[in-house]
Amino acid sequence: MRTLIAYASKTGTTAKAAHLLGEKLQDVTLRDLTSGSPNPDDYDMIIMGSSIRMGLLHKAARKWLTDNWNAVKQKQYAFFICNGFIDQAPQIIQSNFSEEALQGAVCADSFGGEMDYKKLKGMDRFVTKMVMNDRKGKGQDFLPCILTDRIQIFADTLKGKQ
Ligand SMILES: Cc1cc2nc3c(=O)[nH]c(=O)nc-3n(C[C@H](O)[C@H](O)[C@H](O)COP(=O)(O)O)c2cc1C
C-alpha cells in the first residue's frame, strides 16, 4: 500500500516526527507541503501532519487539505499535529478539522512538540517566552518533547489498515 506522509513544519519538529513515523511504516513517501503539493491520487493511504501556532494548523497544511479533501476522503487517512502544550491537543484537533474529517480518519493525535528558543526570533521568541513563563507560574514549567510512544501507537493503528 503506497502511503503518503505530507507535513508542514515551521521549526522542524513536525518534519522530525513525520520521519520517525515514516520509519515505522512500509512503502512511505514523505513530502514537505511548504515546498510542494503532492497528489493524493498517487497513494492509497494519506497521513497529514502539521505544526500548530496560536491554535492553528500551518497555512500550507490547511490549504493542501482544503484543496485535496475530495481526493483524501476517498482513501484511508490520518492526521497528526505537533504542538507544545499536550493538554490542549484534543481541543486543537477538534477545532482545526471538520467533524466529517475526524469521523472518517483512521486516527488523529498529537505527537507532542519542542520549544527551542534558539530557533525563534523576534515576536515568536517573545510570545513563546511569555507563554512558558505563564505556565511556569501555574506549576507547568516542563519543556515539551516529541512523544515517541504516541508515534508508535499511531503507526501500529495504521499498520492494521495497510
Ligand atoms: C509563535 C508560536 C505559537 C505557538 N502556539 C502554540 C499553541 O497555540 N498551542 C500549542 O500547543 N503550541 C504552540 N506552539 C508550540 C509549537 O506548536 C511547537 O513548538 C511545535 O513543536 C512546533 O512545530 P514545528 O517545529 O514543526 O514548527 C507555538 C509556538 C510558537 C513559536
For residue 65, tell me if it sits in a domain.
Answer: yes
Which of 10, 52, 56, 110 to mutate to test ligand 1, by most ligand atoms within 8 A of the CB atom?
52
Does residue 6 surpass a pLDDT of 90?
yes
pTM metric for this prediction? 0.95
* Of 102, 123, 141, the residue nearest 54 (C-alpha): 123
For residue 10, tell me if it sits in a domain.
Answer: yes
For residue 130, tell me if it sits in a domain.
Answer: no
Measured from the Cα of 8, ligand 1's closest atom is 26
Does residue 141 surpass a pLDDT of 80?
no
For residue 49, tell me if it sits in a domain.
Answer: yes
Does residue 140 surpass a pLDDT of 80?
no
| 162 Cα: distance to centroid of ligand 1 (angstroms) | 31
- 61 vs 144: which has the higher pLDDT: 61
Q: What is the pLDDT, as a whole number, of residue 157?
A: 97
Measured from the Cα of 58, ligand 1's closest atom is 27
For residue 61, tell me if it sits in a domain.
Answer: yes
| 139 Cα: distance to centroid of ligand 1 (angstroms) | 19
* Of 130, 156, 154, the residue nearest 47 (C-alpha): 154
* Of 63, 51, 43, the residue nearest 14 (C-alpha): 51
Residue 43's contacts (CB-CB under 8 Å, 6 or more residues apart) are: 2, 3, 4, 29, 75
| 13 Cβ inside 6 Å of ligand 1 | yes
| CATH number for the domain that contains residue 107 | 3.40.50.360
pLDDT in tens, 102-131: 999 999 999 999 987 778 889 888 888 888
Alpha-carbon distance 116 to 10, whole Å? 12
For residue 78, tell me if it sits in a domain.
Answer: yes
Which of 20, 32, 51, 57 to mutate to test ligand 1, by most ligand atoms within 8 A of the CB atom?
51
For residue 132, tell me if it sits in a domain.
Answer: no
Alpha-carbon distance 83 to 136, whole Å? 17
Does residue 162 surpass a pLDDT of 80?
no
Binned at pLDDT 50, 70 and 90, residue 144 comes out as: confident
Residue 29's contacts (CB-CB under 8 Å, 6 or more residues apart) are: 2, 3, 4, 5, 38, 43
Does residue 18 surpass a pLDDT of 90?
yes
* Of 149, 62, 50, the residue nearest 108 (C-alpha): 50
The residue range of the domain holding 106 is 3-115+145-159
| 82 Cα: distance to centroid of ligand 1 (angstroms) | 7
Please give the tally of structural domains in the chain: 1
pLDDT in tens, 34-61: 999 999 999 999 999 999 999 999 999 9
For residue 123, tell me if it sits in a domain.
Answer: no
